[in-house]
Every structure is written in C-alpha cells, then in structure tokens.
Chain A
Amino acid sequence: MIGGVTCRYAFRDLCRHRIRTAIMVGGIAVACAVAEFAGSYRRGALDMQVRAVAGSGTGHLVVVPEAWPETREVSLRVRDPRRVEVLARGLPGVAAAMPRARTGAVLAFGNRSAVVQLTGVSPADEFRGNRMVWKSRIEGRYLQAAETGAVVLGASLAERLDARLDDDLVVSTAGVAGITGAMVHVVGILATGGGEVDAQFAHVTLEQLEELTGLPGPAEVSLLLDDHRAAAAARQRLAAGLPAGNVVVTWKEIMPEMAAGADSDAAFSRLVIGVIMLVVAMGITAAQVTSILERRRELAVLCALGMRAPRVVIVVVMQGLILGVAGGLASLPLGLPSAWYLATRGIPLTAFLGDDLSVGSILLDPVLYGEFSLRLVVEGMALAATAATLAAIYPAWIATRVDPAEAMRRR
C-alpha cells in the first residue's frame, strides 16, 4: 500500500534534522530504559513478596472448611483431612502441603505471661514449606512428629517470657470442654531474623493442639507451590477433587492487606511509567509539530500532486513509529544491563530494613532480585512504539490540514 519512495521520504526526512531526531530518540530511549528497569523491579518485587508471604507459612493456596472464609472461626476443621493431604501432595508443582490448626492461648512462665496464637503443625511438612522454620537459627531443636509436651518459641517471645531452653511453661486455652491447661517443655528457640515474627511464633504439634482444644485434625492445609504463577491452575485441579465441605482459597484472600499492597505497588509503578511516557510523548508531539510546520510547503506540494490525507497520516505516523522503534532499540543497551544487574546482584534489603526482615507476619528475602526475561525487551519496544506512534497522531492531523494552494505561493 505504501511504496518505497514514500518510505524513503519518511525516513530521510527524519535524517534531515539529525540532532532533533537524536534528541527525540534519546528521550524515548531513556524513558524506556527506566520503564524496563522499573518493570524488572516491579515483577521481581512482586515475586519476592508472594514468595515471602507464601513461604512464611501461608502457602499459595489453602484448603479450609467451607464456612471459614465467612466466619474466620479457628475452631472449624477441615473435612476428611487425610484425603485432602494426599490429593494436594499428588498435584504437580506442589512443594509442600502443611496441615495446621490454631488457637488463642496464654503462655505463662514464672510471673510472666503472653497471649499468643498457638499453632499446631506437622513438623516434617513445616520443615519443607515454612521458611520461618527451615531458614531460622534454632537453639535446641524443632518439633518431632506427634510429640506432645513440647513447644518451640520465637526468640523475642522467649525473651518476653524470660524463658530459656528446657524451661517448662504453662499453656492454657479455651477448649470445647472449657479452659484447659498443660505443661510444655521449651525444646527449641527459633530466631527468624524478624523481631515482629519472632514475637508471635509458638509451635506445637497438631496432636498437642488437639489435646488442648479437644478438636481433632487440622483447620487448614496450606500448599506451597514451586511457582506462584501456577496457582490458578493448581487451584482448579485441587477444587475438582476436594472432599465436600472444604474450599480452596489463595493467599490473597487470606491476607487481603498484603495482596492490596502488592497491587497498589504495581499500580503505582505503572502510573510512574505512564507519566514518564506521557511526558516523552508530549515532547515528541511538540517536535513533530515543529517539523510539520517547517515542511508546510513540501506537504502542500505533495498534496497538490495528489497525495491524499490518509497517506499523509501514514507518513507522519510511520515517522513516529520509526522514532519509537529506534528509541526502543536504543533503550536496550541502557535498560537491559541495569535490569541484568538487578536480576543478578539484586538490592540488599538489609541495607534499608536493617537485620529485621519481617513485615507483619511475613519474613522477607534479604535480597530483592529483579526479573530478567524477553518480556522486558518486548514490553519496552511495545511501549516505545506505542508512545511515539500515539504522539504522531496530532502532528499527522495538522499535516492533513495543509492547503495545497500554498504550493503555488512564492517563496
């Protein structure tokens, strides 16, 4: 539709003002490089956040009793938990399935006490899927399968109780048969590196918790996946085979504040990229309008010779596209190395957060790595081409308004 001479005209016209063209391309390149870097950071940060949330005990997917999402009642129990666990472990991409139950409890030692949420766990599964357990320094040891009379405390909780390894604590809780109490032996003190997390950490076995509450079985089965992007598919397969009375929820539903935080982070970074691109696009529009006004006579001649408006638009938009693609390509030597650095060296979060890497009940990774993939290039190029092309629309419209009679006017 558009012939070679028209293309040559469009291209050579851009070469007419090399400096102006170079500045436009440079502007697009810098903006795109920022966008590429920000994209790498955003996805890396999201990945890390999800990994941190899921790995800190929540899992990516959680099987809970049907009534739980409504009531959030800790006394509800999973139906047919054996089958749920077998089903979950049989799914591809499942790294760990962790049955758990919780109860509010008071821990007392000497004249000190602390209100905690006591978590009943299956120790081996916890070791597989909970970074609070496998990543932490443990003084003493973690729990053993089915043992009773043992508790593992977070370091700052132990400090608050002034309890040491091998001390015996009194734990009391409200069970089905009223207030119950038991003695538990501190077999391990665990330092996650997050003070906030440590202050809430109190693990016993599921068996111990059942003894205290009188309620058998787990209240949830948390699933840790190898890749969070597989969550939707895993959820479907899980839901299909689930025993009646249970439902699957995602970490987003369990921790809506975290999910909203991640979403708003992503939205903010998109907004920033959008604003940068808008500014660049406006710059291109201004430069293109100038170029059109300089070329009024030439455009008038083309129009006089019979060039119609659609082709004029194509020429100007094509010039925008050339600028965009050139800018996108020029952004790669800037954006990719910085994204590569982000992906391989990463940002040490300890530099900002100090040694405490906990946020709420979440334990973050010490280093935030960016994402590095073909997607960065594709998105960067698409962004540049789109911005520059959109920026050319107004100049193109101006170009079509040129009066062909101007070609006849004397210079």
Chain B
Amino acid sequence: MGMSREKDLIRAEDLTKVYQVGAVTTRALDAVSLSVAAGEFTAVVGPSGSGKTTLLNLIGALDAPTGGRLRVLGHDMTALSRRHRADLRLHHIGFVFQSYNLMDVLTARENVEFVLELQGVARAERRERALAVLGDLGLGALADRRPTQLSGGQQQRVAVARAVASRPSLVLADEPTANLDGENAEALIEMMARLRRERGTTFVFSTHDPRVIRHAARVITLSDGRVVADGPGPPNPGGAEP
C-alpha cells in the first residue's frame, strides 16, 4: 500500500475466522491480509455471505479471530481479553449499525450521552458535547425526541452522532444505508465523508449500495472470505481523496 506501518490503524495478516455450528464449519474469513491507514475512507464490498460483517466484527473487537494476526490501533486483537476489547471499543471505536440500534427508551440526546457517560465524561460536559454533535449533524431540533418519533434517516444520523461523539479514531459501519432510501443514503454517506474530512476520523464501512461506493476512496472486495480486489474507488465527486 506504500504507507508506513506506523500510520496503519488496521493491519491484518492471514486473518481467518471459522464459525463452527454443530457439525457445520464456515470459513467466513480465509487468510485476509490488508491494512488501513489513519484517515482513510474505505468501503468493504462483496456478495452476501462473503464475510463483510465478520471482518468488521473482528476489526471492531466484537469478536476474536480464529487465526492469523490482527492489529487495530496498536493492539494485538488475538491477545486481548474480553474486558480490554470492551475498553478499546469504548474509547477508540465508533459503530454504526445497519438497523440503527438506538435505545428506544432514551431520547436522541440521551443516546449520544450514554456513550460519553460510559466513558466517564462529567454530566454538564457530556450534555454539551451531545448537543454540539447533534447540532453539527443537523439534528439539534430533534434532540429530545425518542427514536420512535424519528424517521429512519434521522435515526441513522443520530446513530452516526453517537458513533462520533466520543471522537473515536475509527468508525465502523455495517451497511449503514441498507435501510435508507436513495436520498437519505446519499446524505448519510456525505455526512460521514465530511466528518472524515473535518476530523480526520477513519471510516470503514461495508455496503452493497453503488451510490455509497461512489463516495469511497478505497474499495476492498471480498468473496467467499477472501480479498479479491483492493484499490481506489471509482472516480467520484465526493472529494474523498486519501
């Protein structure tokens, strides 16, 4: 990739993940090697079942690899305890899920505040920061609404606010636009691109959506758990140069 190793936020070598359910063994990732530098805007694409979610799970410290090596933010993910993985997620990684996954008993602001509270940010400050990031994403007027009172696009933007509120170095998004219509999908990905530009946050997202792929600076293609292509995204107007 031509980047210095120190700048690599993610570095996978022969990364393998095998799921064993009863007698059935699934090789969800098969010797995947790749690295992602800080500030990249990367899409992971591939057909259904190709291992996109599995890859994000491993990078996001949600699951442990079966084989190979994986370093994320300087941590050896094969050696990390459950507890340390939780700490790594809390302090350095933001998540955006396909199905929003907001707490529906909490308001938009409280959803964002929750993560800051887990980090131990003091009450007044976390409130201020939550409102600031919601405002930045154009959600200021919706801060006191519950998720059920928001549209899908709005919910997903709250989810992005939650993911970036704690200023993580890495944000992982698994098909963030899968439940959104074209306009909302476009808006969301543009918002993420802007956050990456303004804050230097590294984004890795999986997607099937060509409109989203258009914005990616780099596209990694998986098939049957292997990397079959890895290169710059299509020439695009998104302004997401490395």
* Contacts from A to B (Cβ < 8 Å): 3-6, 8-9, 12-13, 15-16, 297-298, 301-309, 311, 403-405, 407-411
Contacts and interface: CB of A to CB of B under 8 A. Distances in A.
A200 to B, nearest CB: 72
Name B's interface SS: helix
A373 B99 CA distance: 55
The 8 closest A-B pairs by CB, nearest first: A306-B90, A12-B105, A3-B117, A306-B89, A405-B62, A301-B101, A411-B99, A405-B63
A309 B87 CA distance: 11
Given A305-B115, A306-B89, A407 B105 contact: no
Interface in B104-131: 105-106, 110, 113-115, 117-119, 123
User: Which of A3, A16, A408 gathers most chain B CB within 10 Å?
Assistant: A408
A12 B57 CA distance: 30
Given A6-B117, A408-B62, A408-B97, A303 B110 contact: no
A408 B44 CA distance: 15
B83 to A, nearest CB: 6
B91 interface: yes
Contacts of B87: 306, 308
Nearest to A4: B123
B35 interface: no
7 contacts: A5-B117, A12-B106, A305-B162, A311-B118, A404-B86, A408-B174, A411-B99
A405 B86 contact: no
B56 interface: yes
A15 B106 CA distance: 12
B97 A301 contact: yes
Contacts of B184: none
Given A305-B89, A308-B83, A408 B118 contact: no
B151 to A, nearest CB: 17
B53 interface: yes
A88 B174 CA distance: 86
Interface in B56-115: 56-57, 60, 62-63, 83, 86-87, 89-91, 95, 97-99, 101, 103, 105-106, 110, 113-115
Contacts of B118: 305-307, 311
B106 A9 contact: yes
Contacts of B53: 408-409
Contact of B105 (A16, A403, A408): A16
B86 A8 contact: no
A191 to B, nearest CB: 71
A298 B147 CA distance: 13
User: Which of A13, A15, A304 gathers most chain B CB within 10 Å?
Assistant: A304
Nearest to A409: B53
Contacts of B105: 8-9, 12-13, 15-16
